[in-house]
Amino acid sequence: MKRRALVLALIAAPAVVRAQTPPADQWQTVVSPDLRVRLEMPAPAQKTVASEKEKGHAGERVAWASKRDGEMFDFDYVDYAPGWFSDKDSKLMAKELGRGEAEKAFPRATFKYVADEPVTLQGWDGYALDIADAQGAVVMMRTYIVKDRLYRLLVTAKNDEVTKGAAKRFLDSLRFAETRPA
């Protein structure tokens, strides 16, 4: 009897493993190592750490990237030197960093600016920039400043409800560990 149970268990094992394999469209929660931020993105998300240093950087750039149906989902953050943002107008800084070189890369004669406006998340200043091409595909970018840390999200979406819904889910999932004091 024990032998039959063992044989049945061995036969059933591959079916159990298959049932536990995540589907291709599964999402995962990404949490920063210091627990200051979390968000959802399609699995598997690949983490990278870049030692690149730009003016004002106080640490490495930490990033996660994934793809779903050929669309990009990118998130990164970098710490700046104390006072880099917190001693300045964070609304203006978020706009400058959120827009960057967008008008050079996406000229208004060719692309439609769907969103080009300041935003806030949990009281922290940010900037939303969504740009569509002639076929309705979009690049959606969000930039947030939390104390002296810069967070950036970038996602692409085709002109259909499924990919635009996934892009919105990604952007809307971002949460910071703290809310800005009033």
For the chain, the helix, strand and coil percentages under 3-state DSSP, each to the nearest 5: 25, 40, 35
Residues in the chain: 182
**Digits of tens for pLDDT over the chain (182 positions)?**
444 443 344 444 444 433 344 455 699 999 999 999 999 999 999 999 998 777 778 889 999 999 999 999 999 999 999 988 888 899 999 999 999 888 888 999 999 999 999 999 999 999 999 999 999 999 999 999 999 999 999 999 999 999 999 999 999 999 999 999 87
CATH number (domain holding residue 78): 3.40.1000.10
Give the span between the Cα atoms of 98 and 81, in whole angstroms: 19
Q: Look at residue 18 and tell me if it is in a domain.
A: no
Q: Look at residue 86 and tell me if it is in a domain.
A: yes
Give the span between the Cα atoms of 50 and 161, in whole angstroms: 34
Q: Look at residue 5 and tell me if it is in a domain.
A: no
Q: Which domain holds residue 137?
A: 23-176
pTM of the model: 0.83
Number of domains in the chain: 1
Q: Look at residue 40 and tell me if it is in a domain.
A: yes
Residue 46 burial (CB count, 10 A): 9
